Each structure stands twice: as C-alpha cells, then as structure tokens.
Amino acid sequence: MTESKRTDGGALGTSPQDAKPDSDEAHSAFSPPLGVPLPPAPEPEGSAFLPPTLPASPVASRGANSTTGSHRLPAFTPPEGIPVVRLPSDAPWQDRMRTMLRMPVAERPAPERIARTESGGPAVPRVLDLTLRIGELLLAGGEGAEDVEAAMFGVAHAYGLDRVEPTVTFTLLAITHQPSLVDDPVTASRTVRRRGTDYTRLSAVFRLIDDITAHEATLEDAYGRLAEIRRNRHPYPGWLLTLGAGVLAGAASMLVGGGPTVFVAAALGAMLGDRLAWLCAGRGLPEFYQFVAAAMPAAAMGVLMNLYGSYLPGGGHVQSSAVITGGLYALIPGRALVAGVQDGLTGFYITASARLLEVMYLIVGIVFGVTMVLYVGVSLHAQLNPDEALHTYQNAPVQLVAAMTLTLAFAVLLQCERSVLPIVTLNGGVAWVVYGALHYQASLSPIAATAIAAGLVGLFGQLLSRYRFASALPYVTAAIGPLLPGSATYFGLLAFTQGKQDLGVASLAKAAALALAVAIGVNLGGEVARMVIRFPGGGPARRAAKRTRGF
C-alpha cells in the first residue's frame, strides 16, 4: 500500500521546503536589480568552495551501495584537529563568559533559555543600558578588558539577549544587539570619564552580576541595587587613607634596610605627598601633576635626613636612600601596570597600549618630581649613596612583618573590604617568603624569583575569588606590593642625577623587567588556576584559547 502525499502545506509535502522552514539567511537572500544576472550556482560537492561530505559511518552505509561512499573525500579538518571548548552549565559565570569570548563567533553556543512571564520579551534598550552601566563601574575600578566583556556578556545573556557583541576600550564601552539577521541592530555606548579605586564597590558589583546570571534579580531589582552601589560611600575615611600611605612607605623603607628613624621619615614624606596630591586633585590638575607633587615630599625628606639626620636624637647616619625608596613604593602604579599587561596577554591590544601609556605618564611624573629634588640635594652636597640601601636586614622575621604591613596598608588604600584584609595580608606574606627563599637562599635571579612569587599571588587570588564569587583584584593587587621595583627605580634616578647615565639606564631597565615579571606572573597564575579548576558534571576544562590561532 502506497502512502498519500499531502499538497496543502502539511507535514508531508512534495518538496523539501515543505519539511524544513526557511532560515534567517534564506529570508535575507540578495535579489539583484533588473538587468543584472543572478550569481552563479554553488559549485558541486568536493570543490574548493564547499567542504566535501564526511564519509558515512559503517552502520549507516552497511545496507547502501558500496560504491557510493568509496569515492568521498576526507573532511578538511579531522575532528581532533581543533580543540573542543566546553561550557559547563554549573561553572561560575566568569569562566563561562570568558570561554565564549575566546571562541570564534560562529562557534559560540546560544545561552540557556529560561522561563519568562513577560509576553513581549526583555526590554532591549534597558538591558543594554544596565549592561553598559555595570561595565562602566568595572572598567573604572580597574578590571581588565576581558573581565569587563565577560561581565557584559553574562548580564545580556541572563536577560535573554542572544546576539550581543560588547566592545571595551580604555575609555569607551559599546554593545550591539541584533535580534535576527533580518532585523536592524541596536547599538549603545558609554564613555568612562572618571576612574577611582574602590574594591569594596567592585565586590558589590560582582555580587550583583552573580545574582543576575543566576536569574535571581529582575531588571528593576538590578537597577535599584546598582543605584545603591553608586551612592555608597568609601569604607575608610580620608585621614585613614593618608595614614595608610604613610605606613606603606615606612614598611617599604624597612624592607630595604631602614630602621625606626627611617620608618618615621618615610611615613611623614608619604603623608605630606598624599595631602599635596589631594590638594592638586581638588584644584582640578591632571593626574600627571598629582604624581609630580606626591613624589617631591618623599624625596625632600630623604635629602633632609641625609643633611641633618646626625642632629636627631641618637645621632648616627640615616639611610636617606631607604626613605626615598619607601616613598616610591607608595606611588608606583602597580594596579594599572598589571591590568595593562593582562589586557595585552589576552588579546586586547588597544586597551593594553592605552593602559601602558598611562603607566608611562605616571612613572614619568614620579621621575620628574624625584629628579628635581635630587638635583637640589646634589647641589647642596648631600651624600646620596645608592649602595647604602642595599644593606637589607638579615633578620627574616623583620622583613616578613614589614612585607605584611606593607600589604595591609596597600589594601586599605585600595578600599578593600574589611573581611578581605586578613586574607590579602597573608597572601602578601606568602609572596615575600617565596621571593626571599628563592632570591636570598637559593641565589635565584630577582626577576625569576619575582615572577614565581607573583605567579603564586595570581594563583591564590583566582582561587579565592572563585571561592567567594568576587573579583580577583582585591586579593592580587595589594599582595604584589612588596614585589614592586621601588629600589631599582630610585637607583636609576639617582644615577642620572650624578651623571652616570649607563648605570641609570641599567637600573631602570632592571626596574622595568621586574615590573613586567610581576604583571606576567600574576596573569600566568590566574590562567593556571582557571585551567586546573574542575566543576562537577562540567567535563574537561578549556583546552585552548582560539582568539588568535591561525585556523
């Protein structure tokens, strides 16, 4: 008995179009104007334009003619030629969205659909606006470009926007949503004009994103919480931040060989520099001049200690180089340096170039302020000897306490949450112990020892951020404080003021190498942490990042 075929557009049509609806690409096919011939038909199978059909499996072709599958060519790329990228549904949103960023656009899977009560779907302009506002807070707080894009992906996908493409540069955020191939895209942008360091606010934004991606916050709730985050004041008062800058400089001076007198002198110089920078900021001066002003009191305090330190109670010679070095530790822009190198390593070269240019300008401001004071000190016959700061403490516990104190003060300056301070302090102490064991005991080069210690900081920071579902910056940035190249920077500047250009170039090159070792080590530690993390039911971890691969 033969089956009847329906001709009224039912399930059993007479043509393939009746069984399969047209795709978006078919609806948007190009129609040539009058007088223009149609484009040529696609080449037959096996040509250079269409990949040949994969060979049929033995089970499927067992009953077919053996000659039909024998002439088929192998596929262009074998299945094992391109690494498989999996997206476990129970992984944190940071890992899922970052994995999508590192996949080609054509291979990104659609987001998981959730049950919605609204019949009209999400309000696209409001979702895009919320996404941009969240990305603005993250970028202004110092997050890397890849993390900002991952957060924007997570927010947009959580509210049902499938075809979104965020773009992050140093000062501009943009996001484009295209409902389908036949609809017009919707694009919105936002400019980041002010930047500030408040890791407490950054942690609150991450908690909001985590609730949004878990579908626990509606659009109105997210707007309300975001407004509350913007209204919140900083967790520490201004006088405590100034005191933190002084403690940071004093601890750094003890780290390079200073005593109690040097601690007090470095702390006073850093606190004066901090207040002077606040005064310049209140007058609307650019950040470059703020760093120039902040660097001058620390250098002036070192020159004064060299000239008149013997008149202090107790007499003796004061290590002025340690005073100036401690002040430099409080000014080196380690946060921007780590973020710039991280953006370059993850493929955001425009943003990385802008961040590194910002770091260069800030360092030039520090150099300008310190060099002017050192020239005055040399003209006053101050005996500034760079070798005196090399005689560090041989007492390891003193150095460890100084490193942990430096880390704690740095965390306060970065406005970290109070619950984070003990963990960050411990992480900085571990970093210094590793550096001291490798450099002083194992006689490893300072650059290699710095890279390894910074790698552990990045590894622990990523693990802690996954455990607390927060950003890794509060656990990483302050912990690298003891590893920053403050002494090498000062030695290079002092050599230039004394006319020893070759020594100055060598010392500044060493400082740059140490700074890059810190940044690369932090990024590598974070990548190792993300690579080895396993999630229940998630399958193997990401095996390759295909952003810049050649296939």
pLDDT per residue over 307-364, tens digit each?
A: 876 666 555 556 777 788 888 888 888 778 888 888 888 888 888 898 889 888 888 8
Q: Are residues 245 and 339 in the same domain?
A: yes
Q: Compute the 3-state secondary structure of the chain and give helix, strand, coil in percent, each to the nearest 5.
A: 60, 5, 40
Alpha-helix runs per DSSP H in 233-259: 238-255
pTM of the model: 0.72
pLDDT tens digits, 508-541: 888 888 888 888 888 888 888 877 765 444 444 3
Cβ(328)–Cβ(366) under 8 Å?
yes
Domain final residue pick, 170, 204, 231: 231
* In-domain check, residue 58: no
Q: How confident is the model at residue 130 (pLDDT cuts 50, 70, 90)?
A: very high
Beta carbons within 8 Å of 122's beta carbon, 6+ residues apart = 116, 159, 160, 161, 219
Residue 313's pLDDT is what? Answer: 57
Window from 38-47, 109-118, 273-282 with minimum mean pLDDT = 109-118
Q: Are residues 406 and 499 in the same domain?
A: yes
Q: Are residues 332 and 258 in the same domain?
A: yes
The domain total for the chain is 2
Which range, 5-19, 416-430, 514-528, is most confident?
416-430
Domain final residue pick, 214, 231, 248: 231
Residue 191 phi/psi, 5-degree rounding, is -105, 135
What mean pLDDT do residues 469-480 have?
A: 84
What mean pLDDT do residues 252-262 have?
A: 82
Q: Are residues 301 and 371 in the same domain?
A: yes
Q: Are residues 268 and 379 in the same domain?
A: yes
Length of the chain: 551
Residue 404's pLDDT is what? Answer: 93
Query: What residues make up the domain containing 439?
Result: 238-532
